[in-house]
Amino acid sequence: MVTDHSNALKDFIESGYSCSQSVLAAFSEEYGLPRETALRIAAPFGGGFGGYGKTCGALTGAMMVIGLKCGNSDGQDLEAKLQTRTKTRELIEAFEKAHGTSTCNELLGIDRSNLSGAELKAKLPCIHDTCKNFLITVIAFLEEDL
């Protein structure tokens, strides 16, 4: 079971996984989701939804963790639905307060959706450096407020 989330997250990022994959995988086994499954589930969310630069991948990964902890598997469990919605909103509000937006392109100051593979690869070190702050924000929320 992973309990050192920051180190696990760093290892995933350094191994080439996206922010969404790294956040979900750092917490997944604690909540009964195998790491490999977590990495596959979160894969489409990287780069702001498939590289379109929409919602930050660190944020969407953290939302999936909220779902693992608080989400319902019974469509009639209104308490779980409300708790999930409340925690998700608290996360988004904290993230946007800290960073001004939750949109990947705005956070990075580039339009990811138009980058070729080579252009994206060249920018990855800068992107990863910038994303560290976003990852710190979501990890802190998940460890302190969830």
Position 139 scores a pLDDT of 96
Across residues 40-56, what is the average pLDDT? 96
Specify whether the CB–CB gap between 102 and 92 falls below 8 A: yes
Say whether pLDDT at 2 is over 50.
Answer: no
How far is C-alpha 18 from the chain's CA centre? Answer: 8
Count of domains for the chain: 1
Pairwise CA distance, residues 46 & 61, whole Å? 9
Is 132 buried (19+), middle (13-18) or exposed (0-12) by CB count in 10 A?
middle
Give the pLDDT confidence of 10-31 residue by residue, as tens digits: 999 999 999 999 999 999 999 9
Q: Which domain holds residue 33?
A: 5-144
Pairwise CA distance, residues 91 & 109, whole Å? 22
Across residues 25-46, what is the average pLDDT? 97
Helix (H) / strand (E) containing 49:
none
Whole-structure pTM value: 0.94
Give the pLDDT confidence of 52-64 residue by residue, as tens digits: 999 999 999 999 9
Q: Is 101 left (phi over 0), alpha (psi -120 to 50) or beta?
A: beta
Pairwise CA distance, residues 31 & 110, whole Å? 35
Residue 48: which of 39, 38, 57, 59 has the closest Cα?
Answer: 57
**Counts for the chain of helices (H) and strands (E), in that order:** 7, 0
Give the pLDDT confidence of 75-125 residue by residue, as tens digits: 999 999 999 999 999 999 999 999 999 999 999 999 988 888 899 889 888
Q: Give 27's contacts (C-beta < 8 A, 6+ positions apart).
A: 2, 5, 65, 68, 142
